[in-house]
Amino acid sequence: MNRQDIMDNDKDNGFCALPFVQYSTFNGGRYRLCCMAREPKDVGLKTVDQEKLGIEGTWNHEYIRGVRERMTKGEWLPECVECERLERNNIMSSRQWENYVWRNETPEIIEAAKENDWHVDSPLQFDFRLGNLCNLKCQMCNLEASHLVSVERREMIDLGMGIDHDDWRHDNIADKKKALLQPGIEWDSFEKMLPMAQKIKMIGGEPTVSPDMFKLLDIATERGYAKNIELSFYTNITNMQDKWLRQLGEFKRVVVNCSLEGMGAMNDYLRPPSNWDNVWRNFDKLHQFTKTPEGKRIKVRITTVNQVTNALHLVKFWRWLHEYQLANPERGIGMSTNQLIEPHYYSMANSPTWLREEQKRQVLEFLDEIKDSPFYEDYEEPLMEAVAFGEDPSHVYDPERMREYVRVTENYDAYRKHNILDVSPEFVKIKQDLGM
């Protein structure tokens, strides 16, 4: 079934399989419905304390059981506004995809839950945020996902270079020692449930510098569970180690999502202190490993965060990746885009109309260039998602948020001693439009 068929067969319905099959956490260990869910003030999600209750106690907490019951009625929950927005704009949502993935398991699970006050025995999928320990300080990142971002922003605030925004205001972990001490996986419960697990997702911080990732890999491989588990994680691919590469080969299936916003100077600008030559060397090593008998179960995917700074670099980068794939046709590379929502001053949702139109023009031109390529569909869907995001009627130019973008960018340039014009010359026009 193709992407459009999946969307057409599951719309105008708030039901989601995830509360029945997935256990998900924020960085710091606190439970959440999923990575897309929001936390309105009037819901009970904030009362669910995983650190206190453990995974077992949290999994069937009265709030989660209530969510399961409401979702079986097709009710759209306030927590699910992002999926609802995506579907309204004919973009596949996480809800639709997960419903498709778990279509064979959910009917039986739902029926059993109905008979047991909406209790479910054990999650089939775990989605862990492993803390905010990270070796990079990506400009569009947040305090909860990188302790280095937390350190940097605190220093900038002390220097009078911060801004009045939630991402900068609230206190957070600001050193490596405390980052390491964050509550993460509640191991006692997890190890009891691991034999039932079919899928595990890991995001950081940076998973490949997190002790929890290596502990999880060791437990799963040494106890023989790995062969039954599909594993996926996101990495900045700056920390490539032969040991965990070999461990990945023991899992049933693995997807390594490589976060790359651009090549060369754009990578180094947005993801300091990342170095593009090292990043690409690691990526090529990973990709070549997938062609070996040890790595045959591993799929590599590139995920690009579409945002104001790299908006007109996106096609240039993906054209370069396409040329790489043509030269390395074995074991194709998956492609995806994430549409940045927060921080809102980086989001294309608030960007000038001309910037979105120019990105669309470049996307359509590129897709026409590769229309006969064997990889066309891999590129077409994620790039058109970026275009659709820019064309969402609710996304209109917001001068005040763009002024904030200019202020943040110039403050970062002054602090980091680099220059936005080296990677994004359209910054000049953004300022001119604002009269700055």
Q: pLDDT above 70 covers what percent of the chain?
A: 97
Token output for 256: 């390594």
Q: Which long-range contacts (CB under 8 A, 24 or more apart) does 145-148 make?
A: 145/27, 145/204, 145/205, 146/205, 146/206, 147/173, 147/174, 147/175, 147/176, 147/178, 147/179, 147/205
Q: Give the chain's domain count.
A: 2
Q: Range of 54's domain?
A: 3-123
CATH of the domain at 420: 3.20.20
Report field, pTM of the whole predicted structure over 0.75: yes
- Dihedral, 127, 133, 135, 139 alpha carbons, nearest 10: 80
| Contact between 128 and 185 (Cβ < 8 Å) | yes
Q: How confident is the model at residue 180 (pLDDT cuts 50, 70, 90)?
A: confident
Q: So what's the pLDDT on residue 46? A: 62
Do 102 and 143 lie in one domain? The reply is: no
Same domain flag for 200 and 70: no
322 touches 373 (CB < 8 A): yes
Same-domain status, 136 and 273: yes
- Whether residue 151 sits in one domain with residue 171: yes
Q: Give the model's pLDDT for residue 45.
A: 60
Residue 177: the pLDDT is 78
Tens of pLDDT, residues 88-141 = 878 888 999 999 999 999 999 999 999 999 999 999 999 999 889 999 999 999
Work out the mean pLDDT of the chain and round it to a whole number: 91
Residues 223 and 316 in one domain: yes
Task: For residue 396, give both structure tokens.
Answer: 């209109």
- Return d(Cα 433, Cα 408) in angstroms, integer: 17
